[in-house]
Each structure stands twice: as structure tokens, then as C-alpha cells.
């Protein structure tokens, strides 16, 4: 069994899967970690209770009443983004490949400035609860809402499966719990947070976790640097002694220009098309707070990636070859210096090396908390696509009262939770490394082009958005299936039909070109009306006049 | 939906044209800078990895790639800071003016 581990947890599954692997062995019960994790669960359930009393209507449920500040939202966005995969996966990638880990993490950061410069403010000014609000603002509700909701739900479910499988394996490793128990625990807690506490509880769980993760990672990086008198030259020199000078330069991650561009496009535009990230922009009061959120989020995420780079090098000098963390059984078979639990455990072992059992327990608990927070955000985004977009806007044609819509979203949350548990258990031993890559490809090729063009291109029509969105979506899915990650790794064929791992360059181009073509050739009466409606939409997107929750005095 | 009067008033307000023009130009400029930095970095890796692999100083183990990579991260943060700094001052002020003018009609 080739069990792809923690990378599955978050954003980076597909792209760095070569760095991860190893079979999970259940570990003895880790009491320090469990007690710290229980503290986190009790505290967050307390927050959920507090939030539940403040969650009365749909606005509270979807957007925490729109009262989150820019700083808080920036922290929560960073929390959504810094999954256990980013933390364990990127530090593992630095640990095994050195510089390639840094290249990889940079790709995840650079989408944020673009989101700020072009998307964040108009998105806040036009939307209410979901990004489909914006995409369908002047287009025909039924087809565009359905397509956007489908894009959201597909992204959320693919992400959720990856998170659940990763969560089960991580918890099995860190806490010594059974896989099924771990998956059910995560599923139940996330349903509790979301159904009772809505966006308010989800946001605060995310903020607390982001704070814990940043503090823990900061401590680790400082502890590593302190050993080398805060001199990078000596740290790197020692690491080169162990792993050779290749770790200081680009390796095999980016080998040809097409893959390079395609990966870059997937990461950039995919980030700007993730429903749980876009939803966060509606939790702040106005465009100004939305703008500030991205500034803080970019700072936190960039800082975090610099820390993971130091942590990866710290693991090279303090964990690699250390008999304490050596997997002797595996060494006897494969040779080399494999570490217990696989390369993804590099950061976890480093936490023990610099801080002993208690700090190991702390970092393990933070890793678990991270998963919980990320799946909660995903579930809320999925539930709102079902209740707000499908139920209220498509099925009821916009005529639903808030109470009913809330009820539907709570039922949707429970169904998504049950589905996540079921799929998490079903996919335990499957190779699912492609799933997060597929989620990013769908977000970049279907969600993002429609959202972006609906805000900036007056000629966009329902026909163009619908046909182009479907073509972008299907191109992304087909190219992932025919590419190396599914065709070869999952289906066992020798050569891929489509040679590149990352389809985004082709599927995103397909979406933009076909949206353009089917819009300009649309001569219907409806297309004329949609064009005429652009100006009013643009005024609102630019000034915020008429925006949801804006102060009109 | 917006009242027609307010809508027309905003449309004809020179501040509105100024806001749209200034902000979109600034947003696109900064976006191109970010895209240029990132894709420049990525294409450098694809086409000329040995450039990044050379030592920064003759006797150093730190390669040129390290400060360049960290530089990309820092540039992303700095660029967002520059945008927010200008938007908080100039763009919000213009928006406020547009809102005040629009209200006089209502």
C-alpha cells in the first residue's frame, strides 16, 4: 500500500505527493497530546455555545453577522489556508528536497496579492453570502447559480475527502486512535461547530488555531536558529554536510516551462476560486475591511512559509539520522535514514527535539485542531451553496424565508458531515493524491473565470458563462483523469494520455476563450439586457453603494 | 436596486470616473508587477536553475536562490501593503465624496 499521507490534508496534495509516502502505524496513546487536544475541543465547544446564542438569522449563520474585523478575518483566512498539509507537507518537502519546498510554498502565496488588487473589494460590494451571488448578479439565476453551486460543492467534497483521510491517518499516528474513530470524531465535531455556531464559531475556531499554529511554528524556528547563533550560514552549512549541496538549489519540482506555468496558474487562480475562502470576504463590514483582511492574511501566510522553510532545515540537522526518530524496521529493509511515520512527521519530530514531550503534544494537538478548523470552514461553504444557492435561489426562485433557509443549511451540514465520514472511511486505502489537485483545477477553471468576468466584463452573457464554465470544468476533470496522477498512478496505465500533471494552463484558457466566444456571439435579447445591467452593477462594485450590510446612514 | 436618480448622479460625478480610472490602473499595475516577479522566478527555475544554484558570495553556502525566493514572499506582502496604504487614503476619500454627492439628490 502506498499511503499518501498528510499532504492530502490541505492545499497541496497533488503537487508534492512525491515527497510523501509511508505506511501508517498506529502509535501508543500520546497522553500529553490528547490532554492538550481535549483542552482545545472544550474551549472551542465553549465558543460554539457562545456563538450559538448570537446566531439567530441567515446573515449571522453565513457571515457571522458581517461583524468580523479585517484583522480577525485576515487571521481566519490565514487559518483556512495554513492547513495541516501546509505545515507538515511543506516542512516535509523542505526536509527532503530543500529549496524545492520554498518554491512550492511561494506558489501558494502569490495568489493573495492578485485577489486583493482585483477581486476582494468588488466581491465584498456585490455579494451577500456566497460567490454565486456575485457570479449571477446580472445573469440568469437558475443556470448560473446551479453551475456555481456545483463548482463549490465539487471543490468542497474533493477537499473534504482529502482532509478526512489525512485526518484519520494523522490522528492514528499522533494519538494512537483507530482510523475510524478519528474520522468520526472529526466529522462529529465539525458538524457541532457549524450547525450550532455557524460562521461565528467557525471563524473563532480558525483564529485560535491560526494563533496556536503561528506561535508553535515561531517557537520551533527560533529554537532551531538559537542552536546556530541565529546564523543562517552555519545552519545551511550543517544541513549541506548531511544532505549535500543540492538542497540549496532548485531540483525536480519544476522541470519544464509548461508545468511551471500551469502549476502557477492553478495555484493563483485556484486560490481565487475556492468557495470557503471567497465566503470569508462577506464576514466583514465593508470593502475597506475586506482589503485589510487580505493584507493581514498575506503577511501571516508569508511569515508562516518562511517559518516552515527554517523548520524543514531544522529537521534536516536535528531529526535526520537522529537515532531517536529513526525507523529501524524500515531501515533494515530499505536502507537510508527513514524517520518514524514517514517524512511528513519531520516537523512533529523536530517539535520533540526542540521542546520535549509536552511541546510534541502541543504541536500534535495543533495539527489536529488545524484539520478541524479547515473542515469546518469547508462544510459551511458547502452547506451555504446547498441552502442559499440551490434551495433558496434555484428551487424556490428566491422566495424562501430565512428560517427555512437556515434549517436547510443545518440539514445540509449534517448530511455533508455524514458524507465526509462515509467517504473518509471508504477512501482510507485509496490513492487520493489527485483530489486536492482536482479541487484546485475546478476552482481555477470554472469558479474563477465566471466570477472574474462577471465583475469586469460587461459583455458577459448567461450563455457564455454557462457554456464556458462547463467546458472549463470538464476540461479540468478530463485532463486530470488522463494525466499522470490518475491515468498512471491510480488506474495503473504505463503512460499518461495527457503528459502534464497540472491541467490549469489548458483548462483555464479553455474557460476564458469559450466564455468570451459564446458571449460575443450571443445576440439574444437577454444578452442585451445583461449588457445594459452591467453599469449599475459596476457602480455598486466600485463604490459599495447598495452593498449588503454597508452603512448608508 | 439602485434608484435611477442616484445612479445617474454617480455616473456623471467626475469623482466616480477618477476613482474607477485610478483604482483599476493601480490594481492592474500592481498585479502585473506581482505576476512578473512570480512568473519571472518560476521561469528562471525552469530555464536557468544554475543561476539560482550559484553561491551568493564566493565563500558562502547560501545560494542566490535563497534571497530571491524569500524576496518573492516579502514582495507579495509589501505590494499588498502599498495597495492598502493608498486605497485607505485616496480611494476611500473619493468613495466618500461620491457617496455624499449622491445623497444630496435623495
pLDDT on residue A18: 31
* Among A118, A77, A97, A98, CA closest to A302: A77
What's the pLDDT tens digit per position in A193-217?
999 999 999 999 999 999 999 999 9
Band the pLDDT of A435: cuts 50, 70, 90: confident
Are B70 and A542 in contact (CB < 8 Å)?
A: no
**How far does B76 lie from chain A, in Å, by closest CA?**
6
Task: Give the pLDDT confidence score for residue B105 in this predicted structure.
Answer: 54
Q: How far apart are CA A131 and CA B100, in angstroms?
A: 29
CA distance A225 to A232: 8
Q: Alpha-carbon distance A120 to A289, whole Å?
A: 10
- Buried b / exposed e over A159-172, threshold 16 CB at 10 Å, is bbbbbbbbbbbbbb
Q: Which residues have CB under 8 Å from A484's CB, separation 6+?
A: A496, A499, A500, A501
CB nearest A113 (choices: B10, B80, B99): B80
Q: Quote the distance between the C-alpha of residue A234 and its chain's center.
A: 35
**Banded pLDDT at A8 (limits 50, 70, 90):** very low
Higher pLDDT, A298 or A85: A298
Calculate how close chain A gets to B70, using CA atoms only, in Å: 7
In terms of CA atoms, which chain B residue is nearest residue A247?
B53
**Cross-chain Cβ contact B20/A542 below 8 Å:** yes
The b/e string for A488-516 (b: 16+ C-beta within 10 A; e otherwise) is: ebeeeeeebebebbbbbbbbbebbbebbb
Contact partners, residue A69, CB within 8 Å, separation at least 6: A284, A289, A292
**What residues of chain B lie within 8 A of the CB of A121, using their CB?**
87
Strand blocks (E) in A215-290: none
Q: What is the CA radius of gyration of chain A?
A: 23
Chain A interface test: which of B13, B35, B61 (most A C-beta within 10 Å): B61
pLDDT band (50, 70, 90) for residue A28:
low
Report residue A6 CA to chain centroid gap.
Answer: 13
**Pairwise CA distance, residues A424 & A416, whole Å:** 12
- Under DSSP, is residue A16 helix (H, G, I), strand (E, B) or coil? coil
- Smallest Cβ–Cβ distance between A233 and the set B7, B19, B61 belongs to B61
Of A417, A54, A107, which Cα lies nearest the Cα of A253? A107
Q: How does the average pLDDT of chain A come out, rounded?
A: 88
d(CA B11, CA A537): 12
| Cell output for A152 | 463549490
Please indicate whether, in this complex, the C-beta atoms of B95 and A543 are within 8 angstroms of each other. Answer: yes
Q: Which tens digit of pLDDT belongs to each residue from B90-103?
A: 999 999 889 888 87
pLDDT at A147 over 50: yes
Q: Which among A297, A503, A368 has a CA at the least distance from the CA of A30?
A: A368
Report DSSP letters for A294-345, one per residue: HHHHHHHHHHHHHHHHHHHHHHHHHTTT-GGGB-HHHHHHH-S-PBTT-GGG
Question: Span A299-319, mean pLDDT?
Answer: 95
CA distance A234 to chain B (A): 9
Mean pLDDT of A412-440: 87
Q: Angle formed by the axes of helices A287-318 and B65-86, to 10°?
A: 160
Interface test with A, best of B1, B20, B21, B45 (most A CBs within 10 A): B45
DSSP A282: G
DSSP annotation of A48 reads H
CA distance B63 to chain A (A): 6
Q: How many residues does chain A have?
A: 553
Of the candidates A226, A203, A219, A225, the residue with the CA atom closest to the CA atom of residue A77: A203
**Per-residue pLDDT tens for A117-137?**
999 999 999 988 999 999 999
Question: Are A53 and A201 a contacting pair, CB within 8 Å?
Answer: no
Phi, psi of A255 (to 5 degrees): -110, -35
Residues A12-40, mean pLDDT to the nearest whole number: 60
Q: Which residue has the cell 489536529?
A: A368
Q: pLDDT digit string (tens) for A98-121?
A: 999 999 899 889 999 999 999 999
Question: What is the distance between the alpha carbons of residues A28 and A438, in angstroms, rounded to a whole number?
Answer: 35
- Closest Cβ opposite residue A543 in set B1, B47, B99: B99
- State the pTM of this model: 0.90
Name the pLDDT band for A27 (thresholds 50, 70, 90): low
CB pair distance less than 8 Å for A254 and B38:
no
pLDDT tens digits along A226-263:
999 999 999 999 999 999 888 998 887 777 788 878 88
Q: How confident is the model at residue A2 (pLDDT cuts 50, 70, 90)?
A: very low
- Please provide the distance, in angstroms rounded to a whole number, between the alpha carbons at the two ends of chain B: 14
Tens-place pLDDT, residues A349-387: 999 999 988 898 899 888 888 889 999 999 999 999 999
pLDDT of residue A397: 87
pLDDT of the residue at A163: 85
Q: Do A233 and B19 touch (CB under 8 A)?
A: no
Question: Who among B43, B70, B98 is closest to A257 (CB)?
Answer: B43
CA distance to partner chain B, nearest, from residue A221 (Å): 16
Q: In this predicted structure, what is the pLDDT of residue A1?
A: 32
Q: Which three cell numbers stand for residue A518?
A: 459564446
Distance CA(A373)–CA(A44), nearest Å, equals: 10
Residues of chain A contacting residue B62, judged by C-beta atoms under 8 Å apart: 232-233, 236, 248
Rounded Cα–Cα distance for residues B106 and A449 (Å)? 37
Closest Cβ opposite residue A249 in set B6, B49, B84: B49
Distance from CA of B102 to the nearest CA of A (A): 9
The pLDDT of B75-100, averaged and rounded, is 94
Reference A275, options A190, A415, A193, A378; nearest CA is A378
Count Cβ atoms within 10 A of the Cβ of residue A99 and give its class: 0-12 exposed, 13-18 middle, 19 or more buried: buried
Of B62, B73, B81, the CB nearest to A106: B73
* Cα end-to-end span (Å), chain A: 63
Region of poorest pLDDT, from A20-34, A275-289, A400-414, A482-496: A20-34
Q: Distance, in angstroms, between A122 CA and closest chain B CA?
A: 11
Contact B27 A118 (CB under 8 A): yes
Q: Are A66 and A283 in contact (CB under 8 A)?
A: yes
* Residue from A107, A110, A288, A540 to probe the interface with B (highest B Cβ count within 10 Å): A110
Spell out which residues of chain A touch residue B19, defining contact as CB-CB under 8 Å.
542-543
Nearest residue in A to B81, CA atom: A295
Bridge partner list, A326? A339
Number of inter-chain CB pairs under 8 A, A vs B: 160
- How high is the pLDDT of residue A11? 36
CA distance A284 to chain B (A): 16
The grid coordinates listed for A117 are 488588487
Residue A26 per-residue DSSP state:
P
Which residue in B39, B61, B65, B29 sits closest to B50, CA to CA?
B65
Q: Are A413 and A172 in contact (CB under 8 A)?
A: no
- Say if the Cβ atoms of A256 and B102 lie within 8 Å: no
| All three cell numbers of A225 | 536558529
Chain B residues inside the 8 Å CB shell of A533: none
Q: Is pLDDT at A14 greater than 50 in this prediction?
A: no
List CB contacts (< 8 A) between B45 and chain A.
Answer: 103, 250, 254, 260
| pLDDT classification of A270: cutoffs 50, 70, 90 | very high
Residue A3 has pLDDT above 60, yes or no: no
Mind telling me how many Å the CA of B35 is from chain A's nearest CA?
8
For B24-75, the pLDDT digits (tens) are: 999 999 999 999 999 899 889 888 888 998 998 888 889 999 999 999 999 9
- Predicted pLDDT at A16: 36
Closest CA to A93 of A437, A343, A349: A343
Question: What angle, rounded to 10 degrees, do the helices at A257-271 and B14-47 form?
Answer: 140
- What residues have CB less than 8 Å from A246, skipping those under 6 apart? A98
Digit-coded pLDDT (tens) for A445-483: 999 999 999 999 999 999 999 999 999 999 999 999 998
Residues in chain A closer than 8 A to B20 (CB atoms): 538, 542
Q: What is the ipTM of this complex?
A: 0.93
Amino acid at each position: 500500500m502506498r499511503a499518501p499521507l498528510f499532504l492530502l490534508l490541505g492545499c497541496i496534495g497533488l503537487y508534492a505527493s512525491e515527497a510523501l509516502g509511508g505506511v501508517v502505524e498506529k502509535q501508543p496513546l500520546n497522553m500529553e497530546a490528547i490532554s492538550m487536544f481535549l483542552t482545545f475541543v472544550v474551549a472551542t465547544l465553549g465558543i460554539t455555545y457562545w456563538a450559538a446564542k448570537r446566531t439567530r438569522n441567515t446573515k449571522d449563520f453565513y457571515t457571522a453577522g458581517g461583524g468580523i474585523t479585517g484583522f480577525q478575518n485576515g487571521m481566519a483566512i490565514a487559518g483556512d489556508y495554513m492547513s495541516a498539509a501546509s505545515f507538515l507537507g511543506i516542512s516535509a518537502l523542505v526536509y527532503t528536497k530543500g529549496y524545492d519546498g520554498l518554491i512550492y510554498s511561494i506558489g501558494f502565496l502569490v495568489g493573495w496579492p492578485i485577489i486583493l488588487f482585483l477581486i476582494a473589494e468588488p466581491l465584498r460590494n456585490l455579494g451577500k453570502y456566497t460567490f454565486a451571488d456575485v457570479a449571477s448578479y446580472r445573469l440568469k439565476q437558475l443556470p448560473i447559480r446551479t453551475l456555481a453551486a456545483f463548482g463549490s460543492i465539487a471543490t468542497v467534497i474533493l477537499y473534504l475527502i482529502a482532509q478526512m483521510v489525512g485526518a484519520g491517518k494523522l490522528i492514528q499516528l499522533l494519538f494512537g486512535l483507530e482510523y475510524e474513530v478519528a474520522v468520526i470524531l472529526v466529522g462529529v465535531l465539525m458538524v457541532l461547530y457549524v450547525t450550532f455556531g455557524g460562521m461565528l464559531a467557525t471563524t473563532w475556531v480558525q483564529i485560535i488555531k491560526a494563533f496556536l499554529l503561528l506561535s508553535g511554528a515561531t517557537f520551533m524556528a527560533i529554537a532551531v536558529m538559537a542552536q546556530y547563533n541565529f546564523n543562517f550560514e552555519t545552519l545551511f552549512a550543517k544541513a549541506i554536510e548531511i544532505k549535500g549541496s543540492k538542497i540549496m538549489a532548485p531540483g525536480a519540482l519544476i522541470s519544464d516551462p509548461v508545468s511551471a506555468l500551469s502549476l502557477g496558474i492553478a495555484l493563483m487562480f485556484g486560490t481565487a476560486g475556492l468557495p470557503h475562502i471567497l465566503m470569508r470576504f462577506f464576514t466583514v463590514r465593508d470593502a475597506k475591511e475586506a482589503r485589510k483582511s487580505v493584507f493581514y492574511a498575506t503577511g501571516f501566510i508569508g511569515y508562516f512559509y518562511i517559518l516552515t522553510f527554517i523548520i524543514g532545515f531544522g529537521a534536516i540537522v536535528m531529526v535526520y539520522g537522529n537515532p531517536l526518530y529513526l525507523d529501524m524496521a524500515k531501515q533494515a529493509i530499505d536502507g537510508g535514514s527513514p524517520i518514524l511515520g514517514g517524512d511528513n512527521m519531520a516537523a512533529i519530530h523536530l517539535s520533540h527535539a526542540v521542546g520535549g514531550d509536552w511541546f510534541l503534544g502541543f504541536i500534535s494537538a495543533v495539527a489536529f485542531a488545524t484539520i478541524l478548523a479547515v473542515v469546518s470552514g469547508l462544510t459551511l461553504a458547502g452547506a451555504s451553496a446547498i441552502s442559499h444557492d440551490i434551495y433558496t435561489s434555484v428551487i424556490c426562485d428566491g422566495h424562501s424565508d430565512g428560517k427555512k433557509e437556515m434549517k436547510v443549511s443545518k440539514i445540509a451540514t449534517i448530511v455533508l458531515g455524514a458524507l465526509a465520514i462515509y467517504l473518509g472511511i471508504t477512501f482510507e486505502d485509496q490513492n487520493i493524491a489527485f483530489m486536492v489537485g482536482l479541487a484546485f483545477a475546478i476552482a481555477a477553471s470554472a469558479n474563477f473565470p465566471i466570477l472574474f468576468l462577471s465583475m469586469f466584463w460587461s459583455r458577459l452573457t448567461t450563455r457564455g458563462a454557462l457554456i464556458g464554465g462547463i467546458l472549463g470544468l470538464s476540461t479540468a476533470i478530463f485532463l486530470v483523469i488522463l494525466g499522470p496522477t490518475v491515468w498512471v498512478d491510480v488506474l495503473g496505465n504505463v503512460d499518461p494520455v495527457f503528459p502534464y500533471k497540472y491541467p490549469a494552463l489548458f483548462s483555464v484558457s479553455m474557460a476564458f476563450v469559450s466564455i468570451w466566444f459564446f458571449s460575443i456571439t450571443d445576440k439574444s435579447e437577454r444578452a442585451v439586457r445583461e449588457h445594459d445591467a452591467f453599469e449599475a452593477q459596476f457602480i455598486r462594485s466600485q463604490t459599495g453603494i447598495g452593498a449588503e450590510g454597508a452603512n448608508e446612514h | 436596486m439602485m434608484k435611477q436618480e442616484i445612479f445617474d448622479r454617480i455616473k456623471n460625478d467626475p469623482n466616480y470616473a477618477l476613482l474607477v480610472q485610478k483604482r483599476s490602473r493601480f490594481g492592474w499595475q500592481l498585479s502585473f508587477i506581482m505576476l512578473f516577479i512570480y512568473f519571472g522566478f518560476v521561469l528562471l527555475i525552469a530555464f536557468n536553475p544554475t543561476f539560482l544554484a550559484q553561491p551568493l558570495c564566493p565563500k558562502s553556502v547560501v545560494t542566490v536562490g535563497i534571497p530571491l525566493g524569500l524576496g518573492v514572499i516579502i514582495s507579495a506582502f509589501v505590494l499588498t501593503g502599498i495597495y492598502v496604504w493608498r486605497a485607505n487614503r485616496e480611494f476611500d476619500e473619493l468613495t466618500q465624496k461620491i457617496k455624499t454627492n449622491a445623497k444630496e439628490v435623495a
